[in-house]
């Protein structure tokens, strides 16, 4: 069933036709006197008409709501149009003269209705601008807590398993030592018993020989033998050798209980702390945040106007050129505030200069031919250290601090978002790559590694940037492709060049959503649209460009590119 005009929400995206008979054009305006939607053409005619020229015609969203038509129950031919202020009862004009309402104050019901509509719209605005976004923010906080909780629980399980393995190793060690001791005792006892057994064997042989001798004495062959036999000393039998029973070891079992094991392994305890309620930002703060200031609105409008008027120029023209001291060959550029330029070469030199060529700072890094530094919204430079697996920050006072640790992953490329200030880092490990997103404070909030089929998206993400729609664009050295995912991490497309070979390097985007990527193989800069469609080779040898490696676009929408094997950076105009 189709909705009536009164049922359609005031900010709904719908198509409303003009109320003039036989006119089916799109409604843009509303006559508050006639309570009729109208198109632009019919509005003009409405205001030229003598009968309606004084009517109030406003944009449709600013219209007055039409009071529902309802007949008076006492005077059925009359409409209810008046509110009795004292009785708070809607009435018709005829009711005002009755005895019940004589002397009362009356207000036009349309005025009351308009006030109520205004209040409702204010409440709707509060819900849309504060209560609903704040609730959504709380959902995000809860989801973040879930992620953090799961991460901590995973760590606890790992710690428990590690502790148990450690105890198991100790148990195995003690058991092995006790077993060795049993083996030694057994060997010693066996040697004693075997020795006693041998002594008995010798004694038995002695007895057998003695029996033979005594038998000889029974039948002597001569008197001498008889005399020898009669000698009592020769009839003495040696005593049986002494033997002893072995003293066997006794095993005393360990005395332990479950509590002893718990003490050994540790226990999981939930702190007896009352949960802290999540902070809900006050409505004033939310309103200030949601409603831009006049200056912000002006800046946004200027940006919007620039975007609407900009287009690709028919030719690329050289604007200026700068030399960067302290580097042999520029491989990556980061534009800072106050006309500051950061540039690096492929052997770890990273320098900051002004646009007059004065070197302001120089540091030695582990970076090479990748986009390993970027300037944040606060004006700080952050850069990756792939040897120590950290990301460092350089503040405007030239202080270097450790900002983020990346664990077992080697950070290669980095980009600070111009949209929200969040940080994108391309990393690799064991010929596998990933992109990790951090917030401004360096807390990990997203990992992008695989597509919907479970296949790895990256191998060597050595340059990275973000497009105006939130897409993450990566130049992958090993995949020979520009890999693009949306802000949720879903794979959108991969661009693999226009020929049989494509070697993507530096990459950036502009205010129109174009993707600009250097191709080391063809020595050109490819220009793609937001959906990965090839538009042109923007910079070629015809513009005097040789082997562009790094590109970026400044706030004036000029393209900065590095020249072949030099410390020269050239600026071009390609939008008009």
pLDDT value for 287:
43
Tokens of 317: 């023209």
User: How remote is the C-alpha of 493 from its chain's centroid?
Assistant: 20
Q: How is residue 383 written in tokens?
A: 């850069």
Q: Which residues of 545-574 are buried (b: 16+ CB within 10 A; e: fewer)?
A: bebbbbbbbeeebbbbbbbeebbebbbbbb
| Parts of the chain belonging to CATH 3.30.160 | 8-62
State which residues of the chain have pLDDT below 70: 1-15, 220, 222-223, 225-234, 284-309, 564
Residue 307 in tokens = 């975007």
Q: Which residues, 6+ apart, have CB-to-CB distance to 534 below 8 Å?
A: 495, 498, 526, 527, 528
Q: Which CATH superfamily is domain 294-575 in?
A: TolB, C-terminal domain (2.120.10.30)
267 CB contacts (<8 Å, ≥6 apart)? none
pLDDT of residue 220: 66
Residue 252 is predicted with a pLDDT of: 86
In a 13 Å sphere around the CA of 218, the CA atoms on its Cβ side amount to 6
Nearest-angstrom CA–CA distance, 568 and 341: 12
- Fold of the CATH domain 8-62: Double Stranded RNA Binding Domain (3.30.160)
Pairing of strands 373-375, 359-364: unpaired
Tokens of 389: 């697996």
Is the CB of residue 406 less than 8 Å from the CB of residue 412? no
User: What integer pLDDT is reported at residue 491 of this predicted model?
Assistant: 94
Q: What stretches of 470-547 adopt beta strand conformation (E)? A: 472-476, 481-485, 491-495, 504-509, 515-519, 524-528, 534-539
List the one residue out of 121, 106, 112 whose CA is nearest residue 67: 112
Give, in order, the Cα–Cα distances in Å from 320 to each of 327, 355, 491, 570, 572.
Answer: 19, 10, 38, 6, 7
504: tokens are 């993507």
- How far is Cα 390 from Cα 403, in angstroms, rounded to an integer? 7
| CATH 2.120.10.30 intervals, the chain | 294-575
The predicted structure's pLDDT at residue 262: 80
Rounded to an integer, what distance in angstroms lies between the CA atom of residue 401 and that of residue 396?
12
Helix or strand run (H / E) with residue 171: helix 132-218
How many other C-beta atoms can be found within 10 angstroms of the C-beta atom of residue 508?
A: 25
pLDDT in tens, 515-562: 999 998 888 999 999 999 999 999 888 777 778 899 999 988 999 998
How many angstroms separate the CA atoms of 19 and 39, rounded? 8
pLDDT number for residue 462 = 94
DSSP class of residue 384 equals E
Report yes or no: 107 and 93 within 8 Å, Cβ to Cβ.
no
């Amino acid at each position: 069933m189709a909705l009536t005009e009164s049922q359609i929400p005031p900010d709904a995206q719908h198509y409303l036709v003009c109320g003039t008979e036989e006119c089916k054009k799109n409604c843009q305006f509303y006559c508050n006197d006639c309570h009729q939607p109208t198109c632009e053409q019919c509005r003009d005619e409405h205001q030229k008409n003598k009968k309606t020229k004084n009517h109030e015609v406003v944009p449709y969203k600013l219209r007055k709501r039409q009071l529902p038509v309802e007949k008076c129950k006492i005077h059925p031919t009359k409409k209810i149009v008046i509110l009795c202020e004292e009785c708070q009862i809607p009435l018709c004009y005829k009711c005002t003269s009755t005895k019940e309402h004589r002397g009362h104050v009356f207000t036009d019901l349309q005025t009351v209705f308009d006030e109520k509509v205004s209040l409702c719209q204010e409440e709707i605005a509060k819900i849309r601008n504060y209560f609903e976004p704040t609730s959504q923010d709380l959902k995000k906080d809860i989801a973040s807590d879930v992620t953090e909780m799961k991460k901590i629980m995973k760590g606890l399980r790992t710690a428990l398993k590690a502790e148990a393995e450690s105890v198991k190793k100790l148990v195995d060690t003690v058991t092995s030592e006790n077993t060795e001791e049993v083996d030694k005792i057994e060997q010693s006892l066996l040697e004693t018993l075997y020795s006693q057994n041998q002594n008995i064997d010798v004694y038995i042989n002695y007895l057998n020989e003695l029996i033979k001798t005594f038998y000889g004495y029974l039948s002597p062959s001569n008197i001498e033998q008889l005399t020898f036999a009669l000698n009592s000393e020769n009839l003495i039998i040696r005593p049986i050798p002494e033997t002893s029973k072995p003293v066997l070891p006794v095993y005393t079992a360990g005395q332990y209980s479950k509590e002893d094991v718990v003490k050994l392994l540790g226990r999981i305890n939930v702190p007896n702390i009352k949960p802290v309620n999540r902070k809900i930002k006050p409505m004033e703060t939310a309103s200030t945040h949601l409603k831009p200031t006049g200056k912000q609105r002006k800046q946004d409008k200027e940006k919007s106007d620039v975007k609407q008027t900009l287009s690709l120029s028919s030719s690329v023209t050289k604007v200026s050129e700068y030399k960067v001291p302290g580097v042999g060959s520029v491989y990556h550029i980061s534009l800072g505030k106050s006309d500051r330029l950061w540039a690096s070469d492929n052997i770890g030199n990273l320098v900051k200069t002004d646009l007059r060529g004065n070197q302001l700072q120089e540091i030695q890094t582990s970076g090479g031919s990748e986009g390993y530094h970027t300037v944040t919204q606060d004006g700080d430079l952050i850069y990756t250290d792939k040897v120590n697996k950290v990301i460092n920050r350089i503040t405007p006072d030239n202080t270097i601090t450790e900002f983020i640790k990346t664990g077992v992953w080697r950070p290669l490329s980095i980009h600070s978002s111009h949209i929200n200030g969040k940080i994108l880092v391309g990393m690799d490990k064991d010929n596998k790559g990933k992109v990790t997103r951090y917030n401004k404070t360096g807390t990990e909030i997203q990992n992008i590694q695989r597509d919907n089929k479970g296949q790895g998206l990256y191998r060597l993400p050595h340059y990275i940037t973000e497009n105006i729609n939130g897409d993450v664009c990566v130049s992958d050295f090993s995949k020979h492709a520009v890999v693009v995912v949306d802000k949720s991490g879903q794979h959108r497309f991969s661009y693999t060049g226009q020929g049989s070979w494509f070697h993507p390097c530096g990459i950036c985007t502009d205010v129109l959503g174009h993707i600009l990527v250097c191709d080391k193989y063809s020595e050109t800069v490819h220009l793609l649209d937001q959906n990965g469609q090839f538009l042109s080779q923007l910079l070629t040898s015809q513009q005097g460009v040789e082997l562009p490696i790094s590109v970026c676009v400044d706030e004036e929408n000029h393209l900065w590119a590095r020249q072949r094997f030099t410390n020269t950076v050239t600026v071009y105009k390609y939008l008009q």
